Amino acid sequence: MLAPLIVLRALLSNVSFAIAQIAAIALASTIGIALRQLPDYALTNASDYASEMGRLRAAYEPTLGPLLGIFERLGFFRVFTSPWFVALLALLAVSIVVCTLDRVPKIWASTAPSRVAQPDEFFAAWLPGRGTLQLTAAVPQGATAERANAAAALLRRSGWETSIAAAATTADGATTGATTTGATIVHADRNRRSYRFTLVMHAGLVLILVGAAVSGALGYTQGILLTDGEALPVGTIGAKGTLVVQNRGFSAPRSATGTFLDFTTDLAVYIDGAQVAEQIVRVNEPLRYEGWSFHQNFFGPSAKLEVRDVVGDLLWSGDAPFTAVADGSPYATLPIPGSDAGLELQLRRNATGGSGAGGSGASSETGAVVFVVASRPDPSGALATDGSPLLTPIFASVIAPGESASAPGAGFSVKLESIGSYTGIIARRDPGAPIIWLAAALIVGGLAFTLRRPRTRLWLRVTPGSPEVEAALLVDRGADPVSSARTLERVAAILGGESA
């Protein structure tokens, strides 16, 4: 029973296995960055999934061909929310925990208090970090303990842990050398526990993986396009407590040179018809509510249109956002309700002023106009070269705000009410974000305490009647020897009786 657990522990604590896991996560992340990913809302609704996956197929099928279906089944278009990616993160977190637990005894042993009393050989001049302190006067007989205690008190005030002991003796009770008769050893240890903060850093690494897994499994991100006054739900439509966000007004003022000064949206949030939050949002000033954040992310122009039938009854009214580009100009499409016809809209600048071609109504000043093309599928059912239905034009017209366009037999007319704008809001709920922030703090704190507070150990053997004190100074990598030298100068002064 224990044998499989021992093998599993050996595997999880193996450095090569950990490197292989990190390489696999890096490869998967590269795929997730290189390939366009499905939006979160498409993973909660079958029709949204089919629609978004259709766009991805159109984009990648010419290059990927039959690999597209394999990539879809493997979850390459939803890497960061796929179960296997979350499992990779969880496995690496477990490996780090096992490796850390395996190192705890070694870390505790390396940060344990050092032995105070040391034999003669420990102070041998040929060993690294050994030397002597020259005193202004020899330590008198009977004053060794007093001087040692004074030196220890100075070191404690400087942040050292101190201990005092008699010089080491042999098993028969004799001292280890003639020079140590009546000698006292002062031991000082600074930043002894610093290396234990590597455990804090490891805890941060585990938490950041846990946070990433939680974000991938439970997080949700949705881009919301809102025209002026429009309100749309966030998340699954019809779910209890569904949030609805409304654009109460978008603003993008310009300077005298034409550059944008700011991008803001007056955003309101509703639950069950009751307003629960409102704020002017910017890119770095989101509205936050109950774990959700709403960021200003993008914007663009829109056209407010009215479509009426031949007797004047309203078929459609609203804003058509120009979310695409055709021939370098903003472009949009709009189906006609109750008809097989549709509209293609292109925003243009009317540089000459006057009425748009084919339009009706008063002439306009120089500004934005919309080029409208109305069409319907060819009655014969013919297909275009790309396999889509071949379209038959009904009419084409350039209309300015307040103008209408139609044609005999079209069955409908299109009126441009005004040119407006839409705002793009990113709605994000990330329950893993607090965990990741905590993990980042632990990693930074653990590294800072480990690297910026290296351990330094000092032994001083004070022998009565001698003007010299044997010293051993052992420093970890990164310690400041200049600071230790200044401390030793003050200690030597006290041992020599200058301030005893």
Give the pLDDT confidence of 255-292 residue by residue, as tens digits. Answer: 888 788 888 999 999 998 899 999 999 888 999 998 89
Q: Which ranges in 35-82 belong to alpha helices (H)? A: 46-64, 67-74
**Which of 110, 131, 149 is where one domain is finished?**
110
Q: What's the pLDDT tens digit per position in 400-424?
A: 999 999 888 888 999 999 998 999 9
Residue 28 sits in the same domain as residue 133: no
Residue 29 sits in the same domain as residue 176: no
Q: What is the CATH number of the domain that holds 149?
A: 3.30.160
Residue 125 sits in the same domain as residue 95: no
Other beta carbons less than 10 A from residue 20's beta carbon: 11
Q: Is residue 115 part of a domain?
A: no
Q: How far apart are CA 286 and CA 293, in angstroms?
A: 6
Residue 69 sits in the same domain as residue 131: no
Q: How far is CA 372 from CA 154, 299, 304, 328, 402, in A?
A: 87, 22, 13, 16, 14
Q: Is residue 366 part of a domain?
A: yes
| Number of domains into which the chain is organized | 3
Residue 96 sits in the same domain as residue 133: no
pLDDT of residue 471 exceeding 90, the answer is yes
Which residues have C-beta within 8 Å of that of residue 273, sequence separation ≥ 6? none
**Which of 429, 463, 485 is where one domain is finished?**
429
Burial 40-68 (b: 16+ CB within 10 A, else e): bbbeeeeebbeebbeebeeebeeebeeeb
Return the closest-CA partner of residue 251 out of 288, 292, 280, 211. 280
Residue 274 sits in the same domain as residue 391: yes
Q: Is residue 284 part of a domain?
A: yes
399, 359 in Cβ contact below 8 A? yes
Q: Which two tokens stand for residue 300?
A: 């663009």
SS3 per-residue string spanning 454-493: CCEEEEEEECCCCCEEEEEEEECCCCCHHHHHHHHHHHHH
Q: Is residue 421 part of a domain?
A: yes
Q: Give me the percent of the chain exceeding a pLDDT of 90.
A: 45
What is the model's pLDDT at position 14?
Answer: 86
Residue 11 sits in the same domain as residue 88: yes
Name which of 76-80, 182-186, 357-361, 458-462 the model is least confident about.
Answer: 357-361
Q: What's the pLDDT tens digit per position in 136-168?
A: 888 888 888 889 999 999 999 989 999 999 876
Q: Is residue 460 part of a domain?
A: yes
pLDDT band for 384, please (50, 70, 90 cuts).
low
Q: Which two tokens stand for residue 415?
A: 């009126």
Which residues have C-beta within 8 Å of that of residue 49, sequence separation ≥ 6? 38, 42, 43
Q: Is residue 198 part of a domain?
A: no
pLDDT of residue 169 exceeding 80, the answer is no
Residue 153 sits in the same domain as residue 300: no
Residue 290 sits in the same domain as residue 409: yes
Residue 281 sits in the same domain as residue 385: yes
Name which of 100-109, 221-230, 374-383 the model is least confident about.
Answer: 374-383
Return the closest-CA partner of residue 185 out of 457, 456, 460. 460
Residue 95 sits in the same domain as residue 169: no
Q: How far apart are CA 211 and CA 447, in angstroms?
A: 20
**Which of 79, 110, 141 is where one domain is finished?**
110
Residue 129 sits in the same domain as residue 82: no
Name which of 43-47, 296-300, 403-407, 461-465 the model is least confident about.
Answer: 43-47
Q: How far apart are CA 243 and CA 451, in angstroms?
A: 47
Q: Is residue 204 part of a domain?
A: no
pLDDT of residue 172 exceeding 60, the answer is no
Domain range enclosing 239: 221-429
Q: Is residue 133 part of a domain?
A: yes
| Its pTM surpasses 0.85 | no
pLDDT of residue 358 exceeding 80, the answer is no
